[in-house]
A and B are shown apart, each in its own frame.
Chain A
Amino acid sequence: MSGYIAVGQGSCGIAAGAANVYAALSEKLADRADIALKTVGCIGMCWLEPIVDLYDNDCLTARLVHVSPADADRIVTAAESGDLSGIADLVITAEDSAFLAKQTRIALRNCGIIDPTSLESARAAGGYSALAKILTGEGMTPEQVIECIKVSGLAGRGGAGFPTWFKWNAARQAPGDEKYLICNADEGDPGAFMDRAVIESDPHTLIEGMLIAAYAIGAREAIVYVRAEYPLAIKRLTRAIGQAREAGLIGDNIMGSGFSCDFRIKAGAGAFVCGEETALIESLQGSRGMPRLKPPFPAQAGYWYKPSNINNVETFANVAWIISNGGAAFAAMGTPDSKGTKVFALTGKVRRSGLVEIPMGMTLRDVIFGIGGGIRGGGSFKAVQMGGPSGGCISASLLDTVIDYKALGATGAIMGSGGMVVMDDSTCMVSMAKFFLDFTAKESCGKCVHCRIGTKRMQEILTRIVAGEGVPEDIGLLEELCLAVRDGALCGLGQTAPNPVLTTLRYFRGEFEAHTDPEHRRCPAHACQALLTYSVDAEKCRGCTLCAKKCPVGAISGTVKQPHAIDKDRCIRCGQCYAACRFGAVIKD
């Protein structure tokens, strides 16, 4: 039999041990020509990593999950015999397979399927055919390209959802010969990793999308600004750029069309604000990444004050598909407001966690329960956080919200870059709001007053509420500050920084009130340590003394076989007694 074995080696696969699996398989297959071993990118089923796919003549015969290096022998045996019975325990369940079946993949179309280190692999999957379509034969004019994107309805996938064609057109129309095409791969939103996955798994799709955009706006130089925290992505993209250059797909006179475009990568150095396009430009210019005032917009005065266009990775990953299949095909998917598909990074307390690409118009419930399988570990759904530090927490009552820009915006959250963090009832929403403010306060560039001091003050107020030092007036103060910062901050980071607080105030106000109740401050989720009280249920306590032994401050007293008691003044609320008790006799409130 002729076929190959593919090991998914995105960053998270590697983190789960895929490299060791690859090494073990490689050793077994060292002297065999009949079964090839390949590296592929991330299929997006992260909770099943490491994943190994068996292919027979390019046809997937089995997907093996949670593979360990020790499984290498039987995998090779199965691959050569075609008999999967020896690895039946590794084969993905039908239920888990449904994770992929319910998706529609455009941006992620090649991820986890092709070899990201191989140009041939990309070309075999149709890579650069869209570029050929516009540059060779009849070809397409830049205006036709922009029109096609306009028809597709593609909107910026980085967060703001601005129509892509409009930005391209503005940059195209801007006077000047020197123009730049920039890819924002500074995926800073904690909880989103689709851009990393695309670069690691299918870098040529990004390059092709960028070349098309460069052609459309008239740029001769394209720059990818990548997070420094993504070393594997940088490595694979660097390699892919090299391959494309060698193949004449980058550089002068591409495909003999007269269109020339050079490419380079610039590694970011750790600043979330550089996801904001003007801050990104400042950073590209070697300066502090502090946003500029708009107007002028980058399309007029961007990189080195020349017309520039910036889109994020996922946006570019859709472009070649749209050119190949036509704008209308893309626009056929989605809602009247939002076209095409969107990738989400589904994480948190969800059973199946990974990358999900779905057509716009599905509901949050479809994604979280239908694809993600609902809540992991017996808890119940409480909230989903969308859009990261710029987004918001949506409560269960809004699970049937349709995924499109407008409908999500109406909830107070945003589509954002597609982070979707699911939370169960053990999560304290006040503490979540504080988490995001900790983040934005730390990431504020410090330029404008509203953001620099405003986010700091919001964080301080939230910190004291979580620490049990809040007063009811803090809620109003927080709200006033949120609205002012949203209205007054200079850039998107500051303007959206209050969103996590505003949405939690909107949907979980009761939790804020409970935390600041002057009569009895408490954390309904039992998550804020400072607000917990531990006590012993005398009925249930068997007097085993285990809790007293575990208590680091000697706050628990009692004699053997007699109910114990916790001295609340001495208790430091570490919870060790609660964790230790085998009879459920320690009560946490």
Chain B
Amino acid sequence: MSQIHFTINGIPCTCEAGTTVLQAAKQNGIEIPNLCNDESVRVYGACGLCAVEVTDDGTGKALPKLLRACSAKPQEGYVIRFDTKRAAQSRKIALELLMSDHTGDCRGPCQLSCPAGTDCQGYVKKIAQGDFRGAVEIIKQKIPLPAAIGRVCPHPCEQNCRRGLVEQPISIAALKAHAADRDLAGDTFRPVPLPDTGKRVAVVGGGPGGLTAAYYLRLKGHAVTVLDAAKKMGGMLRYGIPAYRLPKELLDREISEIAALGVSMQNGVRLGKDITLQQLRDEYDAVILATGAWRSMAMHVPGETLDGVTGGIQFLHGISSGEGEIPDLTGKCVAVCGGGNTAMDACRTAIRCGAARVSVIYRRTRGEMPAEVTEIEESIEEGVSYEFLANPAEIIGENGHVKQVKLQVMELGAPDASGRRAPVPIAGRFKYLDADLVIMAIGQTPDTAGLDGIALTKKGTVAADAGTFRTNLPGVYAVGDLTNRGASIAIEAIGEAGRCAAVVDAALRGEEKPYFAPYFSQKQVTAADLADREQQPRCPMPTRPAAERRHDFAPVNRGLDNETAMREARRCLECGCHDYHECKLIRYAQQQELHPERFAGAKNAHGKEQRLVCIERDNGKCILCGLCVRVCEEAAGKGILGLVGRGFPTVVKPEFDRPEVIAGCRDCLKCVQACPTGALRQITE
């Protein structure tokens, strides 16, 4: 057989005459995207994903039409590309069109609402199976600090858990903490970094964001140094979060795991003081800024500078980390301003410091509080009182020390941009609250001292590009609370840092790979859709009694036992597609930025499920590639499945109502194996 010489995407290839471009690419180790091709059946040409452009047919001329690689055959000297703008656009539109007619959940709502994109369903399933290490392996693909995050995360995953439509969401966070604890207690999972690349990265800031960036870049084989101004690593996890929520020994363990990968950690180094940004830029191939937001926002009311007025983070710093004295607040009245989680940490810490009365001042009502419900409930159990619909108007002092807080009485008006009803002052109505200590916990902003030459946003945060995390300075990236919209929850910083690490890794290898949000197909599900599910209440997290815990900083939660954790994990509805990891459609769909929503329109089949002996069909996920029909006829010699109808409403259907026909199916599962998506699955029970 004569050999043909040609190139695909610039890579020299050879094949025997008569081979298709698709086969030839495969033989040469190149995957051209395709959904409807299978070597056991005749070429079909439906999906159009394998479109290639012949930019030179060997004579210097380009071929005018796009070719389908599954049928076109290379000729001597062909220059074939599937990465041209035209081929990529054709593929992208095909994928957008397919997705616009796709009904299914690629991944569960838990994962999609996790800012770090953690595969919650995946690790919950491992836990259900009692495979805790397996669970941690999955978690650590996105979160290097699972024991800590499992304890502190406000878990957006649980808010969107569909089990909540049945009774209550899965305890995803607690399960994560449990798996991580088990892992730390035994043979800890520790991934192996890739061989050294010789590239050096400096990460400024050792909080959740900085540590995450360090972890993933180290795993890619880069030499990473984390610099932090504080005595120890951990950032807000150490200095903000009280020990009764996150024991510091646990944090130390998790950080030591990161260090064990070969991440160099330097504490007590403050940027701008001990080292300059320029020095870092000179010394390292990339610099990632992740210094967080540590400055408590001022309330701009008279009396703020009085003795006895402090910021939430400043109050918590020494107590949470254990590095400072625990103040004795016995007999004192404490006012905490704010309704977020820092306010909760502050008020519950104040209780633990012996305060006689701790009042949280919040300008709206309990329903609008951004803090976690459990935190509010537990604080009340511990004796915290609340002043709702009140806003500090003035801090009144005596001899330079705070004595009273003057509160403006508020009422709720029309909903604001956040959807919450906006608090409106009632003219002339005030009340007074005695206080010895006033803690302002209304938010934090970054301290950008030392970031010479870095461009800032109007808010005073570092301006970082949404896709590349680049600042205005070449080679300098920034993530987390320090950047753009400012302070948020730890898992946001972790998510950003993980994505930033991928971008930086690519840049260090000379590639430009900006992050874009990967596309996931999502289904609308209501409580009515789940009405047939059996009620299985959530396993409650056992806690120590309030009377006991309000006196110490030992953990509030007792944690789950293995059996409870596994029982809780088994409640999972497994919303995400069973075929996600094998699905070719989603794999190709995520290779570029996709916006199928712009083509939103009628959908062909709304996930109607049909059964054929031991095979279940979900037409909502069917892409009409015809592979099941074709393998059933051509490879299995059966012809039980058929295409019914024409055009857009075409569906794949077997003859169901006829037992004699179903009997023909011998469950060879060829159709299930051939299906490029999750439209077909074997029923095992």
Contacts and interface: CB of A to CB of B under 8 A. Distances in A.
B90 to A, nearest CB: 4
A98 B626 CA distance: 55
Sort A-B residue pairs by CB-CB distance and give the 9 closest, nearest first. A484-B93, A293-B45, A446-B650, A453-B97, A444-B647, A293-B71, A460-B601, A488-B90, A446-B647
Nearest to A484: B93
9 contacts: A288-B643, A441-B647, A448-B46, A448-B48, A452-B624, A452-B647, A460-B602, A484-B90, A487-B86
Contacts of B501: none
Interface of A: 271, 288, 292-295, 441-450, 452-457, 460, 477, 480-481, 484-485, 487-490
B45 A488 contact: no
Given A457-B599, A487-B66, A445 B647 contact: yes
A447 B47 CA distance: 8
A441 B45 CA distance: 19
A417 B66 CA distance: 25
A488 B48 contact: yes
A442 B72 CA distance: 29
B43 interface: yes
A489 B94 CA distance: 10
Interface in B588-625: 598-599, 601-602, 623-624
B97 A449 contact: yes
A448 B47 contact: yes
Contacts of A288: 643, 646
Given A446-B646, A488-B66, 18 more contacts: A441-B647, A442-B647, A446-B624, A446-B643, A446-B645, A449-B46, A449-B47, A449-B97, A449-B623, A453-B97, A456-B648, A457-B97, A480-B93, A487-B65, A487-B89, A487-B90, A488-B48, A489-B48
- Interface centre among A294, A442, A487, by most B CB within 10 Å? A487
B48 A450 contact: yes
A32 B624 CA distance: 66
B45 A448 contact: yes
Contacts of A477: 598-599
A447 B646 CA distance: 9
Contacts of B97: 449-450, 453-454, 457
B101 interface: yes
A299 to B, nearest CB: 16
B261 interface: no
A460 B603 CA distance: 12
A449 B51 CA distance: 12
A271 to B, nearest CB: 7
A443 B650 CA distance: 12
A293 B214 CA distance: 51
Q: Most chain-B CB neighbours within 10 Å: which of A442, A443, A445, A446?
A: A446
Contacts, number: 104
Contacts of A292: 45
Contacts of A293: 43-45, 68, 70-71
A445 B51 CA distance: 20
Nearest to B93: A484
Given A446-B624, A447-B46, A449-B48, A457 B100 contact: yes
Nearest to A270: B646
B39 to A, nearest CB: 15
B66 to A, nearest CB: 6
A449 to B, nearest CB: 5
Contacts of A487: 51, 65-66, 86, 89-90
Sorting the interface of chain B by its residue count into under 10, 10 to 19, 20 to 34 or 35 or more gives: 35 or more
Contacts of B71: 293-295
A441 B650 CA distance: 12
A573 to B, nearest CB: 25
Interface string B27-46: 00000000000000001111
B94 A271 contact: no
B98 interface: yes
Interface in B612-669: 623-624, 626, 643, 645-650
Interface string B61-97: 0000110101111000000000000100110011001
Interface in B113-137: none
A293 B45 CA distance: 6
A449 B66 contact: no
Contacts of A443: 646-647
Nearest to A446: B650
A329 B626 CA distance: 50
A454 B94 CA distance: 8
Contact of B602 (A454, A456, A481, A490): A456
Given A293-B44, A481-B93, A484-B89, A444 B646 contact: yes
A447 B46 CA distance: 5
A481 B599 contact: yes
A490 B48 contact: yes
Contacts of A460: 601-602
Contacts of B647: 441-446, 452, 456
A505 B125 CA distance: 53
A292 B72 CA distance: 13
B597 to A, nearest CB: 11
A453 B47 CA distance: 11
B101 to A, nearest CB: 5
A488 B601 contact: no
In the complex, which of the residues A447, A449, A456, A481 has the most CB atoms of chain B within 10 Å of its own CB atom? A449
Nearest to B101: A453
A456 B48 contact: no
A485 B97 CA distance: 10
Contacts of B646: 271, 288, 443-446
Contact of B51 (A447, A457, A481, A488): A488
Given A442-B647, A477-B598, A487-B66, A450 B44 contact: no
Nearest to B70: A293
B93 A450 contact: yes
Nearest to B650: A446
Contacts of A456: 601-602, 647-648
Contacts of B89: 484, 487
Given A442-B647, A449-B97, A449-B98, A457 B66 contact: no
Contacts of B51: 487-488
B94 A450 contact: yes
A441 B602 CA distance: 13
Contact of B650 (A295, A450, A452, A481): A452
Contacts of A294: 71
A320 B565 CA distance: 86
A444 B97 CA distance: 15
Contact of B100 (A271, A453, A480): A453
Contacts of A484: 89-90, 93-94
A489 B90 CA distance: 9
B233 to A, nearest CB: 49
Name which of B46, B86, B100, B649 has the most chain A CB atoms within 10 A of its CB: B46
B44 A488 contact: no
A263 to B, nearest CB: 30
Contacts of B602: 456, 460
A292 B46 CA distance: 9
Given A293-B43, A488-B93, A457 B601 contact: yes
B256 to A, nearest CB: 51
B462 to A, nearest CB: 33
A449 B94 contact: yes
Contacts of B94: 449-450, 484, 488
Contacts of A449: 46-48, 94, 97-98, 623-624
A450 B68 CA distance: 13
A452 B646 CA distance: 9
A456 B600 CA distance: 11
Contacts of A453: 97-98, 100-101, 599, 648
A22 B22 CA distance: 63
Nearest to B49: A449
A483 to B, nearest CB: 8
Nearest to B53: A487
Nearest to A464: B601
Contacts of B98: 449, 453
